[in-house]
Amino acid sequence: MALIQLRHTGRQMANAGSCFIALSIVACSGARFSNATSDSNADNISQQNNGSLDGGTHPGSLSPTEDTACGLARVDTAAKAVDVCIPHGQFTMGSAAANLGGTFSDHSPPHSVTLSAYFIDAYEVTVARFRACVQAGACDLPSTTGTGCTFNAQPGSADSLPVNCILYSSAAAFCNWDGGRRLPTEAEWERAARGTGASNYPWGDTFACDHAVVAASTSCPNYDPKLPAPVGKLQPGASVEGVYDLIGNVAEWVSDWVGSYPRTDVTDPTGSTTGTQRVVRGGDWLFPTTQIMAYLRRSSMPTNAGTLGFRCVRDAG
């Protein structure tokens, strides 16, 4: 049986082993991952890993794959662990629309961003996927006492819900464990959500309640105000490339520190090098419809779990 070795590209992942493909199954050896126990460690994980499908016994190491323009994509639809290829290209980030103030950061000026190709999770990380990381000893138990927290230590009806009440460091630790991946940069998240046409939402410029789990019990009363919905439930709200729940359900951590946007064209930006607050994107199931546009940026202390969830990315290749 022929074996094909995968070589790392882009950011180099510390302590990564070799990965091989045999009959479309990824098998890996020698990779070592450590849990992020502080925000500084989480930052190192987010910025340094290239996110190849490396690792030992985590779910990504033995998932079915398919070839894409970005390389081999994980396609474990049953576990909601599916990679979506975002090709190399340029898009307009930010907006000239009025800033909202408060916990929302300045989203101006609009500026041109060029990104290298990457994979992003089609779905927000679920309770079931995060539980596997906790059971492996690589992720800390999230809070279960806050309003709307979804985690349950036992399998059950919550498994398909997006995990939330997650600290920034815990989100970064999961991504590292799950294939040596990382949290998306703010630019990567916005490109996945707005495409190359700078739309307000992943599906276009007109809001509809059946496209996003938001405004529960207010503008969109069909949604449960107590909890988010199962990931990927609203197919009309998917992006052109097939990424779900970028707007609503749970707000999502990205890797950037809060900072001002550049006023010139940039390539593969990673945001400010230091800061006190992290950027959060997408809004959650309780957000009003006036606060969910895909260009909006909210700030949060990394030690705040709130109703925050996440998804992961890795470099193409």
Least confident of 4-13, 51-60, 70-79, 228-237: 4-13
* Sheet hosting strand 25-29, strand order edge to edge: 4-6, 18-22, 25-29
CB 237 within 8 A of CB 283: no
The reported pLDDT for the residue numbered 59 is 55
**Residue 118: pLDDT band by 50, 70, 90 thresholds?**
very high
The reported pLDDT for the residue numbered 22 is 31
The amino acid at 73: A
The reported pLDDT for the residue numbered 61 is 53
**Rounded to whole angstroms, how far apart are CA atoms 102 and 111?**
23
The reported pLDDT for the residue numbered 271 is 95
CB 173 within 8 A of CB 42: yes
**Residue 56: pLDDT band by 50, 70, 90 thresholds?**
very low
The reported pLDDT for the residue numbered 147 is 84
Give the chain's mean pLDDT.
85
* 259-291 pLDDT tens trace: 999 999 999 999 999 999 999 999 999 999 999
Say whether pLDDT at 80 is over 90.
yes
Least confident of 9-13, 29-33, 117-121, 185-189: 29-33
- The H or E element spanning position 169 is helix 168-177
Q: Quick one: average pLDDT of 186-215?
A: 97
CB 279 within 8 A of CB 304: no
Q: Could you give all domains of the chain from N- to C-terminal order, each with its CATH number?
A: 4-315 (3.90.1580.10)
Say whether pLDDT at 197 is over 50.
yes
Q: Quick one: average pLDDT of 233-255?
A: 97
* 203-224 pLDDT tens trace: 999 999 999 999 998 999 999 9
* Sheet hosting strand 71-76, strand order edge to edge: 65-68, 71-76, 81-86, 118-121, 313-315
Higher pLDDT, 30 or 305: 305
What's the per-residue H, E or C state across 179-236? CCCECCCHHHHHHHHHCCCCCCECCECCCCHHHCECCECCCECCCCCCCCCCCCCCHH
Q: Quick one: average pLDDT of 53-61?
A: 48
